[in-house]
Chains A and B, each alone.
Chain A
């Protein structure tokens, strides 16, 4: 199975900060990497697909990059509604593994 490792697992940030979350795959997955946001008590929400494509309706402050084994999710100018847990996921092959999640908290 492909292992997905996120870092950091948690971070504290202020409104307006730039936040970067990294995700590393245990083998090359090309750009088959997706990002999701989950708030407490809610289902995950799709943010980014195929490493760098923003889902429809997602604010432009969210962006993704990477190829191969190393990927990043960047949130420019963090907003109050962005405090949540973020997961990366590989869709290169089954099982479609997720990272452990990164919890973004208010500083």
Chain B
């Protein structure tokens, strides 16, 4: 059974940093692009970033370029999202999701990031 579990969320001060992790199991992790999607409280879904199967290609939402970095460790079946210089508007639930020919077919339960002093 495919499972994605995010961790690393919590309360962080404006200007601070945080690293989110997403542990994958139940499928051949290295065969899939992985994505991050976020959802601010009461708002819709926003695509954040993606990383290729081998970790070489990364893409980001334009507004996040330079502050967020996605990476992966295929030996650990884990994808990461490094968040720097966080702002209040980065407050959201962050989901990791598996991408492929069937769209985003599996999602983790999400991890909440709250940016506040």
Among B59, B95, B103, which residue has its beta carbon within 8 angstroms of that of A50?
B103
Total chain B interface residues with beta-carbon distance under 8 A: 22
In the bound assembly, the distance between CA atoms of A107 and B46 in angstroms comes to 29
Contact of B50 (CB < 8 Å), options: A38, A53, A87, A94? A94
Residue of A42, A46, A87 touching B45 (CB-CB under 8 A): A87
A36 to B102, CA, bound (A): 12
Contact B47 A55 (CB under 8 A): no
A101 and B46 alpha carbons, distance in the complex (Å): 11
A80 at the interface (CB under 8 A from B): no
| B21-52 to A contact mask, C-beta < 8 Å, 1/0 | 00000000000000101000000111100100
Chain A positions within 8 Å of B, measured between CB atoms, are 1, 34, 36, 38, 42-46, 49-50, 53, 55, 87, 89, 91, 94-101
